[in-house]
Structure 1
């Protein structure tokens, strides 16, 4: 197994660790971080750090694979799977914690499944559906929004601006738009299979 695939596998392995810190009740220890009216549990801070670390490996593994000609079929399968597992796991956890509306999680996760299905149809036709500009923007906005939700809107909590809520709504809207963009640009794939 080459280095990019190991990095991708490490991202997948970080998911249950992140969820452990996010969902297990650590109210007995340690004390939450207090800063004026701001409060954040240490375990949620650890979960946010793990999420950011895992999310940052997405660009690293792809860069190494392309730069050093280490692209493999396993990597092509694992990389998008790792991304979807990470985002799905954290969104479902945030819904359980009451930090994210369930409809937003459903929209984002459904779009991921739909685009994955489109990519599989493309593979059957011997084509590749590459990541679009809107797909990349979607990923960045999702990571920012999820990070803000994990950190209880830090640092914007001090100025009473709900940037975390604004960001997750923006992530949902951009996710919808990027999904539509993929299907419009690849409508010929769907027409082939309707015949």
Structure 2
């Protein structure tokens, strides 16, 4: 397993620890900060694995499939944790997660036809906006950061829908060739 794929696996392993600190009192008053550090480190592995894979020509089908899945696990887990904290409305999380299920299903159908669908730029923009949104919502710094967090919630939601449309339009042959 190459370094980018190891970073992807590390990101997946970090998710339960992140959730543990988001939803329990294990770390006491430091919980939010521990969770924030875990989320930031996991998010950085997302940036690093892609850069390393492209720079060293280590792009693999495993990475093309698992990297977006690792992102979904991290981001969706974080958003679900933010619902009971009153930081994010459930309906927004449902829309975002529904998009993730649709794209994952789309990729599964494509893989049955021997097609690997890599992440698009719209999908990457969506993920980055969601990660920044989550960081601000976890940090809960108040004041102008609350406004920025609200703007990022809406930007993330819009990019979620735009990236879904982009995937479907660019890969519509998967629907016709994939036996659907």
Say whether 1:98 aligns with 2:86: yes
8 Å CA contact 2:110–2:178 kept in 1: the answer is: no
Total equivalences in the alignment: 180
For residues 134 and 77 of structure 1, the distance between their equivalents in structure 2, rounded to whole angstroms, comes to 17
Contact 1:94 1:100 in 2 (8 A): yes
1:64 pairs with 2:47: no
Q: Deviations over 1:4-24 (max 9, x none)?
A: 222111111111111121111
**Is the contact made by 2:83 and 2:89 (CA closer than 8 Å) also made in structure 1?**
yes
Residue matched to 2:110: 122
Give the gaps of 5 or more residues in structure 2.
none
Per the alignment, residue 156 of structure 2 pairs with: 171
Is residue 134 of structure 2 the alignment partner of residue 146 of structure 1? yes
Question: In the TM superposition, what whole-angstrom CA distance separates every residue of 1:132-186 from its partner, at most 9, and x where no partner exists?
Answer: 221121111111111111111x3xx234752212211221121011101211222
CA distance 1:10–1:193, shift in 2 (3 Å): closer
1:54: Cα distance to partner?
A: 0.3
Note the aligned Cα RMSD (angstroms): 2.1
* Aligned equivalents of 1:13, 1:124: Cα separation in 2: 27
SS in 1 for 2:83: helix
1 CA distance for matches of 2:95 and 2:163?
12
**Cα separation, 2, equivalents of 1:159 and 1:60:** 30
Task: Write out per-residue CA displacement over residues 39-97 of structure 1, whole angstroms, 9 at most, x where no aligned residue.
Answer: xxx32122112111101111211222232233334333432221111011111111122
Cα distance in 2 between the residues matched to 1:150 and 1:138: 18
- TM-score normalised by structure 1 residue count: 0.82
- Deviating more after overlay: 46-55 vs 126-135: 126-135
More helix, by proportion = 2
Q: Could you tell me how far apart the structure 1 residues matched to 2:52 and 2:160 are?
A: 27
Q: Distance in 2 between matches of 1:26 and 1:116?
A: 33
Q: CA deviation at 1:116?
A: 1.5
* Structure of greater Rg: 1
Give the drift of 1:113. Answer: 1.3
Partner of 1:55: 43
